[in-house]
Structure 1
Amino acid sequence: MAKILIFPLGVGDTNENIYKRTYIPIKYRIGNKEIEDRFIISVLIDYLKVDKVIIVGTSRSMWENLYKHYAELVNEFDEEYWRNIGEKVGKSENESCYISEDDLKKIEEVIDKYLKKINPNATGGSKCKIIKYGSNENEILENFDIFMGMIEEINEGDEIYLDITHSFRSIPLFMYLMLEFVQYLKKDVRLKGLYYGMLDAYKRNYATIVDLSPLFEISYWIKGMYDFTNYGNNYLISKLLEKKIKI
């Protein structure tokens, strides 16, 4: 069983100098812990002790900044690689992508090393995925195929954690569809956390990270009611009630 975090990577600020883009440091509160970091992914990694992460971003996402962040944490920063990635990201647009997933392999490596640094039992196997902007039907379908392809990274018994704080608002929809589909193929896979960092509600010197997974659970109740009302099948409703009684 692996704990897998799926994280969308945004573009940060709009600084024309690609090497100066960044997220500002934010103090996040999750559970009873307060952790300050530029990347909410680091807060979730520290809190959840995940085995691997799947990072989703466009050709313009802050890949160079993400690399620098984790490479410095494991003392493996390669300035030449960082500048090369930044140059490719800087030239890229939705229609003309100069960066490939092969270019991002070193990012996967430093993230895996960081995961093992804070959790020696982490399995590793992190992945970086490049998606389109989704500005037309073809790009939407292409992104759908990419998210469906992520199912290959998920095995029976795995626990899935999703973050929806950054990047395009369409990404949570793709995540939802992927998770719905994977649970039909691999029934022993469950969403364990659906996290959102409430940056717009920043107060008391911290931003709260909320777990929205109870909203996803409502979809199970809807399906259970549909099965019972239309087919007299009470299996899913019984399972859900049994789970509630145990709680």
Structure 2
Amino acid sequence: MKRNYFYINKEFGDEESVKIGLNWLISICKLKKNGQALLAVIQKENLKGMIENVLNRSIINKLILNKDVILENIQLKVITEKERLYDWKGPILIAFPNKKLLDKIDSMPSVVDVLVIPYSLSEIQYWINTWNAQSFGEKRSEERQSSLSSLTKEALKMLVNSTNKGIIHPLDKAKTVDLFKKLIYSGEKINADDVRVWLVREGEWKPKNADDVRELVEKICVGKNIKTIGKSFWEDNILDQLRAKMNEV
């Protein structure tokens, strides 16, 4: 699924960035004939200030009270990091997010159009890397290349297919630890951040579950002992099997 993810390349935010973001939100709705737009903020208190100066106090008060707000025939809704919303099929403007809010949006499987107004560019860099997000209004940049080898990616596909998209279950955790130990001990250079990117973007894991794996990989890379149940879950020659499978394609 093609995702159109953008960010405004400016820190600390200003009213001009909010105007650009809201104009984008409405224009995407009109372009795709979607009658609803979503504005995501950490908490509703964040609607005050710059966003209020652009929309006006009356509109903000309605949004805070979850009342209907119509902008150019488009219904505008608000979500915060604590509210329950598991999917969305329209465009989303994310204003001044933290990681928790970005991860919440990343967990929604149907989202394809996102624009982020950052407070700090460094805080959203991991999100930019995950989705190859583009600077809004600027020339498209080349996609960041993953450091993961073809073998490691093939191993990740196998892991995704053999677990429940996470390592909450002790057996899934044990499988994950065993697989990465085999990869690392065989000489594979593993970047934990790139593992997370692959799991979220290609494996369609929820960000929290991918974070759990990233933390495990970091520990394995520095030789920390990780307690798991059971013995080895993969055959000793599993990496050779994966190489053979890759050569067949």
TM-score, normalised by the number of residues in structure 1:
0.36
Structure possessing the higher radius of gyration over alpha carbons: 2
TM-score (norm 2): 0.36
